[in-house]
Amino acid sequence: MQKILVPVRGDGKGDNVFAHAVALARRSGAHIQVTHCRSRPEDMIPYGVAVSPVLKEQIIEQSVNLLNKQEQGLREEILALAQANGAILAEPSDDDHVTVSFIEEEGRQIEVIRHHGLLSDITAVAQPDLDRNIGTNTLQAALFSTGRPVMMCPEAKSKIPENLGQNIALAWDGSVESSRAVMQTLSLLKSAEQVTIITNTTDTIKVSPEELSEFLAMHGVQANIAIISKSSNVSRSILDQAAAIGADMLVLGAYGNSKNLERVAGGVTQDVIDHATLPVVFVN
């Protein structure tokens, strides 16, 4: 793992996500690229309202000044966060520190995340706040437009581990999605000190956890197996088991059904998004 993307939006959740990214980078040696989606000045012009050329020019000029101040404020905030978390603003060439860079790019959020996420090892985002309807678009943009793993970071209830990813829980149901999650997170699994495969015993699991364990062993990963009881609420059972083994991260293949169907039917992925209390790495 060499590059962690952290999109920021100024929604008050950036500090927590940044701290998780630094903890992961500290373990993997990755560089953190913080990316801010900058609004276009012309988007500040009132929609559907007749605006004279002179007024339009004034609005754009004032918008540019405001956006420049916001960018400068974000740069200063990132510098302060880096210092607080033992990282430095630098190019990825310092082996002794976690390095961070900041990029401001104009455009739609999904386009900016896709642009930089396609060539990132993982994207770190905040857990959506359902009550305030914050963060869902960022999570979905990262998950569905990059094809790369996405680490969802819940608000930390306690101190974030110094090196995130020491004890990883891996949800397994023998599906294409869970297989893809394994393959795209092998670097994380290899660097972990403990890996536990969480699964249940049903006839629908055609590729057994024992087979997965043998495959991981071929890659140098020694994994334990934890069997959860058959339950109507699989997601809660997975989260409860992850907590029971002291996992600091959960890896999960996301959205076996369409995301719209999952939201309506309350699928496993959506339930984990809503109730996780530890970082979850989703792979779609």
pLDDT tens digit sequence for 76-117: 889 999 999 999 999 887 678 899 999 988 888 889 999 999
- Domains of the chain, residue spans: 3-153, 167-283
Residue type, 9: R
What CATH number is given for 3-153 in this structure? 3.40.50.620
pLDDT higher than 80, residue 42: no
pLDDT of residue 263: 44
Q: In this structure, what are the phi and psi dihedrals at residue 253, rounded to the nearest 5 degrees?
A: -75, 125
Does the fold of domain 167-283 match that of domain 3-153?
yes
Q: Which residue has the higher pLDDT, 17 or 74?
A: 17
Q: Which residues contact 185 (CB under 8 A, 6 or more apart)?
A: 149, 251, 281, 283
Which residues make beta-bridge pairs with 99?
Answer: 88
Q: What is the pLDDT of residue 133?
A: 67
Residue 10 backbone phi and psi in degrees, to 5:
70, 30
Taking the C-alpha atoms of residue 193 and residue 73, their distance in angstroms, rounded to an integer, is 39
How many residues are there in the chain? 284
Q: What is the pLDDT of residues 10-20, one digit of tens each?
A: 667 789 999 99
Given 3-state DSSP classes, what are the helix, strand and coil percentages for the chain, each rounded to the nearest 5? Answer: 45, 25, 35
Q: List CB contacts of 74: < 8 A, sequence separation 6 or more.
A: 8, 10, 36, 102, 104
CATH architecture assigned to 167-283: 3-Layer(aba) Sandwich (3.40)
Report yes or no: 82 and 88 within 8 Å, Cβ to Cβ.
yes
Distance CA 252, CA 280 (A): 7
Residue 266 has pLDDT above 70, yes or no: no
